[in-house]
Amino acid sequence: MKKLFLMLSCVVVLGCSKNDPIYNCNYLLDVGVNLTVNLNLPQFNQLLFPVNAIRVENYGNNGIILVRANANSILAWDGADPNHTSSSCSKLTIVGLNAVCGCEDGNEYSLLAGTALNDNAQPCTLKPYRVEAIGNNSYLISN
């Protein structure tokens, strides 16, 4: 009986880990997102070509930023700075393949990795959304 208890204890202790990245750090709301994107429509047409990014307003905390990382993948990030409370300056602006916060600290993030850039280490990464291909040039963005 002691051996069984010891084995189960080891499985529980060693099997559990807290290595999930912290995406919102309690600044961003957990807003439900369910967006269908058809790349054949003019507003999403830039995403047909690699290394392009666009913003879709009225979803997420402060819009959603969609990025065509390469020929095979699209990434989706929340358009609000995860290291600030919601304010007028926390909306991220797309600058090439980076996103820049309008607040005075000017946080900057990579839209390919979601992590902070420069020497300004941040505790939170950009909040990602799930991107699922659902058809010919159509994607479902959700969380």
- DSSP character string of 42-72: GGGGGGGSSSEEEEESSSTTT-EEEEEEETT
On the question of pLDDT at 138 being above 50, the answer is: yes
On the question of pLDDT at 73 being above 60, the answer is: yes
* CA pair distance 26, 124, nearest whole angstrom: 10
On the question of pLDDT at 129 being above 60, the answer is: yes
* CA pair distance 51, 129, nearest whole angstrom: 18
On the question of pLDDT at 139 being above 50, the answer is: yes
pTM score, whole prediction: 0.81
Mean pLDDT, the chain, integer? 85
On the question of pLDDT at 90 being above 60, the answer is: yes
Three-state DSSP class for 17? coil
List the end-to-end C-alpha distance of the chain, in Å, as a whole number: 44
Mean per-residue pLDDT, 75-84 = 94
